[in-house]
Structure 1
Amino acid sequence: MFPKPIEKSSRATQIGYQAFLPLVLILWLLPLIAVAVFSVKPDADFTNGNYWGLPSSFEFFTNYGRVFFESDMPRYMLNSFLITVPTVIGAIALSSLTGFALGVYKFNGNLLIFFMFIAGNFVPFQILMVPVRDLTVSMNLYDTKTGLILFHIAFQTGFCTLFMRNFIRQLPFELVEAARVEGVAEWRIFWYVVLPLMKPALAALAVLIFTFIWNDYFWAVVLTQGPDAQPVTAGITSFNSQFRAAYHLMSAGSIVAALPPVLMFFLMQKHFIAGLTLGAVK
């Protein structure tokens, strides 16, 4: 039923696994390695057709200096933080409340409401492009960070509620009953009893949502334009001119844009893994 651990396989299988794993890892990392190499190449390498060869000169400080000091990349990065952080806070706050209500209270329609949250995750977001754009235009939220924040919160709350509700259902319900017997108000039960136990789930969900929103490109292009509101994923395209693309600057900007979610994951790795695995084994 379950795959056999590699330690229990034959010696020949273990050797083949150890030899094959580095090759697969290199193949998987090949696009990232290519972007990293492109980011330190001079512009002349691309005009001369030296796409996959070694750099003719090492232009790390030149390329990254132009990204930070001769472009709007710092502004795009700031926009990404101003969009991502409020979205993470808003989505987690709403999903914590809805997850608590759906996970603790028993009422008619509980399961139906929960299924509605789940159903929203299966709607292809591409079909929402035109109505969402028209809605933001009619509400004067088009090309604003506020419009993008509100949309992301609305779109991510369904997944977050699914995550929170299932996590809360794994908590010992006796704690809630004991607090009710003592006459504790419901909001105090949520704040002082349930919420502290949800810290691993909150950390795991924060990392996931931060990564989702930070790496979003589709809605950043659909709902924003220009450096006033565009996040870094859409702002990287500003390195393209009318007749050619600055691949070395786009690659350097891509590496810079990828650092915040990677850094956040490593800072919260312990809590992230604990949140995903808590309740998996009894």
Structure 2
Amino acid sequence: MRAGMVAPAVVPVPKVPRSRQARVRRATLHAFLIVMAIGWLVPIGGAIYSSLRPYEETSEKGFISLPDTLTLQNYRDAWNQGEMSHHYWVTALIVIPSVLITLLFASFVAFGVSRFTWRFNLALLLLFTAGNLLPPQVLAQPLFQMYKRIPLPGFLSDTGYLLGSTVGLIIVHVAFQAGFCTFVLSNYMKTLPDEIGEAAKIDGAGVLRQFFQIILPLCKPALAALATLEFTWVFNDFFWAVLLENQGADRPITSSLANLGGQFFTNDNLVAAGSMLVAFPTLVVYLLLQRQFIGGLTLGSSKG
């Protein structure tokens, strides 16, 4: 500024008051979210409340009544009667390989269709994504017949076939979940700058080195969000476990709830306690990865 010149006065810009219409929309949105949250939490709270009460008290006084006794006996009975420890182990043998193989396989496909330009990359992505459009019930019968005829080594299956084996369940979960994961990861990889791959090529990095040392570490938020979703979906599966596992002892944790009900009588308080035990691992995984999960709701939304 030249000497002798007077600096112009800075006039503060008045804050524009929020319109009444915007406040009404915001209040309506908050009211809707509160109602929806209460609607989801009431059944869960009711199940927890029921699981802590003896069945005799609930049958005598009704479900909506003040408790005389709160006890953890239903949880102990559900753990023993449902053979929860065994089913947790069987579930781990199914869920952990399914999630890891799905994410690795989907990462390979997403890397190929998003970071390289070739003739059939879009067609391959559509092929994987189209598999999610078919409901599992449509493929149940042909898949069941196919599993009855595909042999498997004895150390992998007690029946000698894919039917009734843990390997068969893992293959089904990988096949049905890979399409969604490929779609999400491909959209996320498209948001990564192309200059990263070009710089890696100049430094002499091959395709595998680019994937494992550059692209895959950058996809940690997407992989964490997908791991949370995939763990929940595979863990909660009941349809494929009942269809493809012949013996109840080899089925995952969700099927153990069937052991808590009798033929002519069902202790609803006991089933509620068993349901809480079944839901506990998914709740722990969500709490540990909730930041990545919430951030993953908008993965790849800015490009592609």
* 1:1-282 to 2 correspondences below 5 Å: 9=21, 22-45=34-57, 47-48=59-60, 50-59=62-71, 61-139=72-150, 140-277=161-298, 279-280=300-301
Paired with 1:263 and 1:144, the residues of 2 have a C-alpha distance of 28
CA contact (8 A) 1:72 1:227 kept: no
Question: Cα–Cα, structure 1 residues 184 and 261, in superposed 2: closer, same or farther, change >3 Å?
Answer: same
Paired with 1:33 and 1:234, the residues of 2 have a C-alpha distance of 23
CA contact (8 A) 2:84 2:253 kept: yes
CA contact (8 A) 1:42 1:55 kept: no
CA contact (8 A) 1:76 1:227 kept: no
Amino acid at match of 2:253: V
Question: Cα–Cα, structure 1 residues 18 and 125, in superposed 2: closer, same or farther, change >3 Å?
Answer: closer
Paired with 2:89 and 2:235, the residues of 1 have a C-alpha distance of 11
CA deviation map 1:216-269 (0-9, x unaligned): 122122222444321111111111112111212211111111111111111112
CA contact (8 A) 2:82 2:257 kept: no
CA deviation map 1:81-103 (0-9, x unaligned): 22111100010010010110111
CA deviation map 1:157-185 (0-9, x unaligned): 11111111111111111111121122211
Paired with 1:68 and 1:240, the residues of 2 have a C-alpha distance of 13
CA deviation map 1:45-89 (0-9, x unaligned): 455472443445323x21111122344111112222221111000
CA contact (8 A) 1:148 1:223 kept: yes
CA contact (8 A) 1:176 1:189 kept: yes
Normalising by structure 1, report the TM-score: 0.88
Figure out how many residues of one structure are paired with residues of the other and give that number: 276
Question: Cα–Cα, structure 1 residues 138 and 281, in superposed 2: closer, same or farther, change >3 Å?
Answer: closer
Amino acid at match of 2:119: N
Question: Cα–Cα, structure 1 residues 151 and 69, in superposed 2: closer, same or farther, change >3 Å?
Answer: same
CA deviation map 1:181-228 (0-9, x unaligned): 222111111111111111111101100100111111221222224443
Paired with 2:28 and 2:300, the residues of 1 have a C-alpha distance of 34
CA deviation map 1:101-130 (0-9, x unaligned): 111121112111111111111011111111
**Which ranges in structure 1 are unaligned for 5 or more consecutive residues?**
1-5
Amino acid at match of 1:268: L
> Over aligned residues, Cα RMSD in angstroms?
2.5
Fraction of identical pairs, as percent: 34
Question: Cα–Cα, structure 1 residues 21 and 172, in superposed 2: closer, same or farther, change >3 Å?
Answer: closer
Deviates more, 1:19-28 or 1:134-143: 19-28
Following superposition, the deviation at residue 272 of structure 1 comes to 2.4
Amino acid at match of 1:58: L
SS of aligned partner of 1:228: helix
CA contact (8 A) 1:73 1:236 kept: no
Paired with 1:148 and 1:171, the residues of 2 have a C-alpha distance of 34
CA contact (8 A) 2:81 2:260 kept: no
CA contact (8 A) 2:110 2:182 kept: yes
Normalising by structure 2, report the TM-score: 0.82
Paired with 1:146 and 1:49, the residues of 2 have a C-alpha distance of 48
Paired with 1:254 and 1:7, the residues of 2 have a C-alpha distance of 47
Paired with 1:21 and 1:164, the residues of 2 have a C-alpha distance of 29
Which of 1 and 2 has greater Rg?
Answer: 2
CA contact (8 A) 2:190 2:300 kept: no
